[in-house]
Homo-oligomer: A and B are copies of this chain.
Amino acid sequence: MSKPLRLGLAGLGTVGMGVVAIIRKQAELLEARTGRTISISAVSARDRGKDRGVSLSSYAWEDDPVALARRDDVDIFVELVGGDEGPAKQAVEAALAASKHVVTANKALLAMHGQALAEAAESMGLQLRFEAAVAGGIPVIKTLSEGLAANEITRVTGVMNGTCNYILTRMEAEGLGYNALFDEADKLGYLEADPNLDVGGIDAAHKLALLSSIAFGTQVDFAGIEIEGIKFITLEDIHAAADMGYKIKLLGVAQMTGRGLEQRMQPCLVPETSPLGQLSGGTNMIVLEGDAVGQIVLRGAGAGAGPTASAVMADVCDIARGHQVFVFGKPAKTLREAIPALSLRAAPYYLRMALKDKPGALAKVASVLGDAGVSIDRMRQYGHEDDHAPVLIVTHKTTRADLDHALEAMGHTGVVSGTPVALRIEEV
């Protein structure tokens, strides 16, 4: 029997307490699966006095996560503090400098500083693992780095933010507007401290940046992601999309093209009968495509104490077994710098606009689209509301550039009120 593996656990929120629960409940299972006992030496959190429902008195306490990271009785530093700067970053750096492996759920930290941290870890022969940072309990990092190791990955797609998916599916099911559901999600504690991380698509984009790096052998490039949040999605769009047989999802797409790495996180329409279309509530789904394996779909809970702690503990178990993988699947020093590329791939688009009550208005819109080379697959005009008529258009496949030309020209026709909504339709 090898010697025990000792954790230092920084952050005692939902996920941290989930980790404590697993270590207490499954001690025997963890030892059977890894051949080592796994224990917690010391913990750290902002508020020592807070009642967390279970006694933590058997663990040493540190007020400062940096001090925790450096303790002699810690083999793995488990970082569940969060945030891309400040204590989380300092403590992870301190842990690596002190020759401790690191397991973290911190997508923001890795999306911003992943390359430097990976190089630091690998130069020391240490593991820096982050399964819990992407898609909660779904073992997608392991699947990409190990399960599909022999594949050239051609595309990564997915719904990676449970809160956005919760809001969008509830909007449709309850017929409630975005603001009402934003408030509901807030009350339920589903939102990050800065809600823009969720509804602005930032959190999901952090995750996509990490997946892209592993999938395509490039340095994490969060800045290269085209990001649009869900704030501008209206109930009208959701109903109109449903009318046309689609669901609106905050969808991440990453693929390597001849021109560079395309990374997008934006609301898209997906067929309501597709696996992504059927995803409701806080569930996440990741679709991986590889040259040998074809398409692999992974679905599971994207957040919550149990699922996220399950992922943290999977990393801990791997380290207990002595498994070594490169942080982003290949040696960090060999990762190429990503060249961001906008998508040139043609796709069908959904357009919604408010047409002014003028003669020939619809004809003008159609001709502007035609002039830009955008052909119409389906169009519906609804009855006038006040002096505007909502018009929905599903285009045939078109490039974003052609569509943008058409949308710009549409602004000059004088028959369209405000800015049309344009959402890409993805058929994964």
Contact = CB atoms under 8 A, between A and B. Distances in A.
Interface in A273-316: 273, 275, 278, 290-301, 304, 306-307, 309-311, 313-314, 316
Contacts of A326: 33
13 contacts: A26-B150, A32-B334, A33-B326, A137-B296, A138-B296, A139-B147, A149-B313, A150-B309, A150-B314, A278-B278, A297-B300, A298-B299, A321-B324
Contact of A137 (B22, B139, B145, B293): B293
Interface string A215-231: 00100000000000000
Contacts of A290: 310
Contacts of A147: 131, 139, 142-143, 314
A275 B298 CA distance: 12
B26 A148 contact: no
A293 B275 contact: no
Given A146-B318, A292-B309, A293-B307, 20 more contacts: A29-B152, A30-B149, A33-B145, A139-B143, A146-B317, A149-B314, A149-B317, A150-B310, A150-B314, A150-B316, A278-B278, A293-B300, A294-B301, A294-B304, A295-B300, A297-B297, A297-B299, A321-B324, A322-B324, A323-B324
A39 interface: no
A323 B321 CA distance: 8
Given A292-B309, A314-B150, A298 B301 contact: no
Oligomer copy total? 2
A257 interface: no
A4 interface: no
B307 A292 contact: yes
Contacts of A313: 149-150, 292
B329 A325 contact: no
Given A278-B275, A317-B149, A292 B22 contact: yes
A399 interface: no
Nearest to A34: B149
Contact of A297 (B273, B295, B298, B310): B298
A373 to B, nearest CB: 35
Interface string A325-354: 110011100100000000000000000000
A321 B306 CA distance: 30
- Interface centre among A32, A35, A292, A334, by most chain B C-beta atoms within 10 angstroms, is A292
